[in-house]
Structure formats: structure tokens, C-alpha cells
Structure 1
């Protein structure tokens, strides 16, 4: 679908906007689907004493967090956007020039970047409404509070997105939303991941609107919300109690990290089992452990059958070297395996050995995000000799590319990020081509088709069961490699992508496992990986974990009492 560029109005409360908003504006101006026609300056609203106090507390928290964890927040840095404007008209809200513009000029989309209520006259005069970002909940419009509640409450994900206000509608529509994994240690890391990622939201959705049209765009909006309804949070700004909870988390996090360093070692291992029901493929009690030597880990298994025998390709990372290479073993009839043989090594990290067959020839696509490429290798001698064929993509940071032939086309599912501060685990991008070796992959208009820390990143080869297509995905909410999902794909074409989670696995200490993130399916065989916990204290470690969780809940619920008690004793001594 081809349309004229959308005429955009930008609404701000001053010359300076946050750095992530500046990046959003840069990408918007570079888009062929948008042209900025006016900037409207609104008068800032006076803040209350409590709001100013909260702002001071937040600045102190961010400063301390940045010092402790070497993560100075940059996304919220005030940045002047005036150099980007050129000859774009700038009007003060309420002025005669503003009123004349609103009554005589057409605007397709207005982008509201202030923390104030939307302007009714702009809602009434825009074709596609007034759009604004939100943080944690559609009623929160200030990026100052990003990740504050989530960190204090130990939530696994931070919700953010875009809403739009349309004429004749009582409530705003959720145009798009995404989740970001909270950082278990640092507030600032979660803030950076969330805000820099949000720079893409409006440019991407305008691209979708221009490509598919308003009717399908609205349908996609509804499907996103139905797939994962937004949670409700308090509409008031976080205050002293929330700050106290955050302050108490820092020593708790330090003690947890110290205990883990002293008494635990975690290692990625491989697991094998015979085939089961599709909804039970990730159950840990069904698996047999393959534990590698303690100086390395094994992960990302893929099963390939050749000449009646099955081979498992996987990532092997030797800790002393620090980057992964690819290895392979052959399964024996008794369930054991041959010694691993290295099949591909590069000066940069390799993992996720996606092997596929095309026109009788085996090919391999490893994860090569460290080289900013999506590379494909051709097999010259199975399974040990692979030679470079070509780059399918260049100048991209792409993770775990997974190909699938469907309905006469080849589809590439890949996790990507466009800013170094963002996580590579939270946005699934979809491309299609008429040949798996093509270098002209077309982007899907809904990209990212999945924007969830708990569901986005690929986790192995796709497979069919009972004529249904399934996509394994990683759950990285809270921590990388936390768990595994199986998603049934309900629609896959050049305009729409839909999937639904049918089962998920979160091995939080079960069977001495603390995470899993790849599933390989073979003939009568399933292979997965998992984080195996070597416990130096044995069974005592389990009881310490339970006691730690109980104390943690007690502190979380009564932190305000713990903070007030010292002040009470001081008062009594006076």
C-alpha cells in the first residue's frame, strides 16, 4: 500500500527533550512515511512540593546506581532538538498563529511529548489521532518514573508502549506495547534498556500504518492487546515507601551475589529425552543430563538426521577463551554420544548452529551478531566441514536467525536490537524471501512481530505437530535464559503474524536447574539445554534459598517499618 507521507505535529514543553526522544525524532525525520510540519510549544505546568521531592529522590537513586554499577543514565539527558527542525514552523500553544494553523492545516498524527493531558483541539483535527508514549501503564506519561515500581516490587518486566487518542472515542487505544526485562541489580540498566528501545516505537508503527492501512492497523492493535492485556498499576507517582524498598534492595542484591559466587557454580548443559506430547517437551523430569567438563559449557542444541543417524550440533564455550565455537556429536544406539568435534571457529563469538537442508544441500546459519552479520555456510563434508557461502544480512545485530519454509516462501525469525543499551532478547523481527540464500529479505510490516522479554527470542528450530506450526521461544524476563515457551503460530503471511503460547517452562531450581533456552526436535528425540547448579553446600543450599525467600518477602512487605524504627529510637533517646 502506497500513501503520501504522514504530516506530523510535534508537541513539546520546551527546547529540550530526552535523548531517547531526540533519537526517535531523528528516525522519524529519516522515514519516508513522515514529514514534520509543525512544532507546538506548551507552557510547563508548575510542580507540587511532593513532586519536587520525588524528583530529588529519583536523581539521588540514579546517581548512586550509576556510581555503584558503572551505568550512568543517558536516555533521559536533556537534548535540544532545534537543530533538527530546519524551516519547520514553531507555534506557542494558544497563540493566534497556533489557532490559525489548527483551523486551516491538515495534520495526520500529533506526537505528544509532554507530561500533560492531550489537547482536545489536536485530537479533533488529526486524521490518525494524538500519539504518546507510556511507561508501566497507559496513564503514566513521564519517563522519570520508568522502572521505579518494577524494580521496587521485583517484577520481571517493564511495560512500555504507545497510545493514541482519536476523535469520538472516550478512551485511548493502545497502538503498541512492549516489555523489557528488569535488571535484578541496577535500576539504571532497566531504564536504559526501556527508553532507548522506545525510540523505535512510533516510527515503526507509522511504517505499519502506511503499509497495511487503517483497517488492518486497528485489527493488529486489538490483537496485540488481546494477546497480552496490560496490567494496571497505581496512577500516583512513586514516593517515599517505594524509595525505601529500592534502598533495601541494594544490600540484599549484594549478599545474594556474594553467596552465589562463594557457594554455587552455574553451567549450561545438554538434556535429552524421548519424544513426548508437544505440550510436555520441556518437562525437566523427562530429561537425561549431559554434563560437560567444568571448564566449559554446552548450549543451543540442534538435531539433524543424516543417513539414518542423528547428530547434535551445539555451541561449546571454553571459559578460558571467552567466546563460543560450534561442535557436533553423533548419537549412539544406546543413547550415549561420541566425543564432541569442533566444526566451526571464528575470531568472534559463534552460537545457535541452525542447520537446514535446501535442494539436497546442507547449510548452517550460526549466530554471528558479534560480527554484525547473518552468515550462511555450505556443508562440504557432513558433519565436520563447512565453508563460508555468503552474508544474508550485513550491518545488523541479529541473534538466533531461524528459517522456516511456509506457504511457498522462506521466513526468517530473528531477534534484533538497534541500540547498544537495549537487550537483544526482547524484539522478534520477521523477514521473508523466495529463497533461503537470498540477500534481499523483505521486512514484515508488523516488525517487531513480538516485543516481549518473556516470548520474543528464538529458541530452536520450528516444527509441526498435528498440522500445526510451533515456534520455540526463550523467556528472558528478569534474567537471560530463564525459561522456554512453545508458541503455536496461528497466522503467518506478508501482512499479519499471530502466535499464542501453549506451554512454558521456568525451571527455577527444579532438579538443580535454573533456566533453559533452546529446544531441538529430532526423530523420537528432544534435546534441550539448561543451567545446571553445582551446589557446594548440597542440601543445605536448598534450605538457605527458602529462608532467603521468606526474609525477602518479610522485608518487602514491612520495609517502611524497618526504615521508621531507627528514627523512632533516635526520637526516644532525645
Structure 2
């Protein structure tokens, strides 16, 4: 009996050590977020953030001293001007949507707040559809996925449709085209759901295969990128806490169904050589602007200190869901 109990104890210790190795119980103390950006002549297989420019939280504070952080960047280029939309959290307020503008894609200036609501906003995915500009932000506190339209781009955004009602989804990412209209969004239980519609203004319904991903990589971290093989989506990796890194997943839709495949693990993650990004990275927007012109924006956060915070329940929960997801997909 004693040997049996010792065996159980040893096994339990090994399991705890394995979980802690994979998803540490002591996690970094992340602080302010900043935005980086760059360009390349081909789709980047990797991004060397050390070589790219950074629009830091310090730069924004010089123009708006109530700034707490900036994050979740999405951009569009219209008539030669880059518009970089981002979550702007100010002192004693919900998150708003702000915009940075640049005529060369290298030197950005703060051009103000473009959207504020009574609830928190983040993740402002802006896109052009049939000559108008739309935005699908995270509007979880409104209990819906809302669609906004710009009536005086890049300002004057108004709700024009409710895409999904009675849900509290994080980071909805949408892709619309003549042949495929899909959206992914994640709940608070680490599930990524897939919705589909006939068009942007069609009825968005759960896909017959509703859950695409579960666990520590199940929350979108940027815009879908379409290439000849299908779609690529940045997915947040939270194994070392929120905002730790990003992996790239390929979504392949065919005959009414789809598959997912992790194609670039840790495409972006914290870099100890860059103070603005030494804690982690969690957002990426890549677009092709011309035959040999790719432009991308991303964000990252810095360490508040060298100390770490203890989190027991999170790693246990995340490991369980990841293991469950692995079993289901075997």
C-alpha cells in the first residue's frame, strides 16, 4: 500500500512538472504595448523585428498624454495613404479605436480617435468591400459581433449590421470574397468557432464543423491572408500567458468542409533584445499591395519587471483542453 501511494505521488509530481515545463505556473509580468511595421518583396517566411520601425507607446503619449496602451493593429492603404487602426486604451475609459496615418508607410503620426462606444472596443479589422470601408472590431461587451461602416473614411463609423447576436466573442476575424465568406471567433472557454454566410450581409450561421481549434492556440491574432493554397490565419499562442506569441495556421476550405494545419509555430514571439517586445507578441496583419510588395504590421508588449506572477489554474486548464483537442484530432 505504501509503495502504491509513493508511486501515485511520484506520478503526480511528474505530471505537475511536465505541465509547468509546457505552460509555466509562474508567468511574466507584461506591461505596455507598442506597434511595429515593415515590408518585403515576397510573403515573409520570417520577420526580423529588430530591423523594422516601431511606433512605441512613448511616441503616442507625446501626442495624447492619457494613453495607457496601443495594440491590435490593422491597416489599409487607400489613395497612397497608409491608415493603421488600433485599440487605444486611455486613462479611465474603455478601449477606443484610434488611427495612425503615413504617406510612405515608414513615418506615422497619430490622427485621433475614429470610434468610441459605451462599451470596450478592440481588434479593429478594417477592410474594403464593394468600394466602401467596413470594420469588424471586438465588441464582446455589446453581446454581439457588430459591423460598422465608414461614412467619412477614416472617420464617422456607424453600426450597419449585427453579424452575430447574443454572443460574447473575442477577436472575430472575417474573410469575404465572391466564393467564400467565413468568420472565426473565440469564446471564453478556449474554443474557436467558424461561421459562414452567402455574403457580408447574409445570415451568418455556424459551420457544420463548428469548432476549428481549442486550447492555448485558439484565438485569432490578425487578418486572413489568401494565397493559391487557401487561407493563412495568425493564431495567438498563450502557453506562457496572454500575449506570448503567434503561430500561423492554414485553413483549407473544400466541398463544404475545411481543415486546419499549424504551418509556422511561433512565427512571432518575445525578443529579449527589443525592450518594446521583450514580453511577447500577439497580433499580425499581412497584406499584398502589389506584385512584389508585401506590407505588415504587428504588436508586442514589454516586461513591467523581472518578477513573475503565479497562475496555477490557467496552466492546468489549458493543458487539459490542449490534450483533449489532441485526442479528438487523432
Aligned match of 2:139? 368
Q: Where in structure 2 are the equivalents of 1:129-528 lying within 5 Å?
A: 149-150=15-16, 153-157=19-23, 184-185=25-26, 266-275=31-40, 277-293=42-58, 295-318=67-90, 320-321=91-92, 323-333=94-104, 335-405=106-176, 408-417=179-188, 422=189, 426-438=190-202, 440-453=203-216, 455-465=217-227, 468-503=230-265, 504-512=267-275, 513=277, 514-522=279-287, 523=289, 524-528=294-298
Shift of 1:493: 5.0
Using the size of structure 1 for normalisation, the TM-score is 0.46
Contact 2:245 2:282 in 1 (8 A): yes
| CA contact 2:236–2:282 (8 Å) conserved in 1 | yes
Shift of 1:467: 5.3
Q: Distance in 1 between matches of 2:121 and 2:111?
A: 16
* Structure 2: distance between partners of 1:148 and 1:441: 46
> Which whole-Å CA distance do the structure 1 matches of 2:246 and 2:82 have between them?
23
- Give the secondary-structure state (helix, strand or coil) at the position aligned to 1:296: strand
For 2:230 and 2:272, how far apart are their aligned partners in 1?
32
Q: CA deviation at 1:485?
A: 1.6
- Is this contact kept in 2: 1:281–1:526, CA < 8 A? no
Q: Which has the higher contact order (CA 8 A, sep 6+)?
A: 2
Per-residue CA shift, 1:433-487, capped at 9, x if unaligned? 102123x32212333111231x321111111345543111111122111111222
Name whichever structure is richer in strand by fraction: 2
Structure 2 CA distance for aligned equivalents of residues 355 and 429 of structure 1: 21
Cα 1:322–1:276 shift into 2, 3 Å: farther
Change (3 A) 1:332 1:388: same
Count of residue pairs the alignment pairs up: 292
Q: Which one has the largest radius of gyration? A: 1
Q: Write out per-residue CA displacement over residues 512-556 of structure 1, whole angstroms, 9 at most, x where no aligned residue.
A: 322111112243421110113467xxxxx7xx99xxxxxxxxxxx
Distance 1:276 1:49 in 2: 66
For the aligned residue pairs, the C-alpha RMSD in angstroms reads 3.1
Alpha carbons 2:55, 2:108 under 8 Å: kept: no
Q: Report if aligned partners of 1:446, 1:497 keep a CA contact under 8 Å in 2.
A: no
- SS of the residue corresponding to residue 212 of structure 2 reads coil
Matches within 5 A, 1:81-120: none
Normalising by structure 2, we get a TM-score of: 0.77
Residues 432 and 444, structure 1, Cα contact 8 Å, conserved in 2: yes
1:495-574 alignment, distance < 5 Å: 495-503=257-265, 504-512=267-275, 513=277, 514-522=279-287, 523=289, 524-533=294-303
Contact 1:300 1:314 (C-alpha < 8 Å) held by counterparts: yes
Distance 1:427 1:332 in 2: 39
Q: Report deviation, 1:276.
A: 5.4
Distance 1:54 1:344, change over 3 A: farther
Higher helix share: 1
